[in-house]
């Protein structure tokens, strides 16, 4: 019945065309599989070579590290440096800078800096400290 309807409608050739296209696609797939198999073999060979190179480099790094440890093993640290507080550098309580601003300026600054990830998590006190310290700089 199907063959008779295909003959009647003139679509008898489409079945053979589909089969031919399927055969061509299968051939193309086989070519691509072969091509990719060769590529995968090349990658595997190069990967093995890279692993050997990396092992050699790691061995050299390990040897250098051991040499450094042996060189520094007998040494004692000479000194430790830290900030010195004394006559010329006295430790004082932190006093935040305050630059006077109008309420409009404060509001505009607050709107802008709360959009920044850097200032978005500040609590009210710290936010006011930052806003108070900001000053206007005019540039060309």
Q: What are φ and ψ of residue 86, in 5° steps? A: -165, -145
Q: How do residues 19-48 score in pLDDT, each as one tens digit?
A: 888 888 889 888 888 877 776 666 666 655
Under 8 Å between Cβ of 12 and 6: yes
Global pTM reads 0.36
User: Would you list the domain boundaries of the chain?
Assistant: 2-72, 96-140
Region for residue 10 given its phi and psi (left: phi exceeds 0; alpha: psi -120 to 50; beta: otherwise): left
Residue 100 — pLDDT band, cuts 50, 70, 90? very high
Q: How do residues 46-93 score in pLDDT, each as one tens digit?
A: 655 555 667 778 888 787 777 776 666 666 655 666 676 677 677 778
d(CA 71, CA 65): 10
Under 8 Å between Cβ of 91 and 85: yes
pLDDT confidence of residue 50: 58
d(CA 89, CA 71): 38
d(CA 96, CA 119): 17
Under 8 Å between Cβ of 83 and 75: no
| Residue 98 pLDDT exceeds 80 | yes
């Amino acid at each position: 019945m199907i063959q008779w309807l295909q003959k009647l409608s003139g679509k008898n050739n489409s079945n053979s065309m589909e089969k031919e296209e399927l055969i061509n696609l299968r051939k193309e797939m086989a070519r691509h599989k072969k091509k990719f198999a060769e590529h995968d073999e090349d990658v595997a060979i190069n990967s093995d070579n890279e692993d050997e190179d990396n092992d050699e480099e790691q061995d050299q790094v390990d040897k250098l590290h051991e040499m450094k440890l042996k060189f520094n093993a007998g040494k004692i640290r000479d000194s430790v440096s830290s900030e010195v507080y004394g006559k010329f550098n006295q430790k004082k309580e932190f006093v935040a800078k305050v630059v006077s601003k109008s309420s409009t300026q404060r509001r505009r600054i607050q709107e802008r800096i709360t959009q920044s990830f850097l200032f978005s998590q500040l609590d009210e006190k710290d936010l006011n400290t930052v806003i108070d310290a900001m000053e206007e700089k005019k540039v060309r």
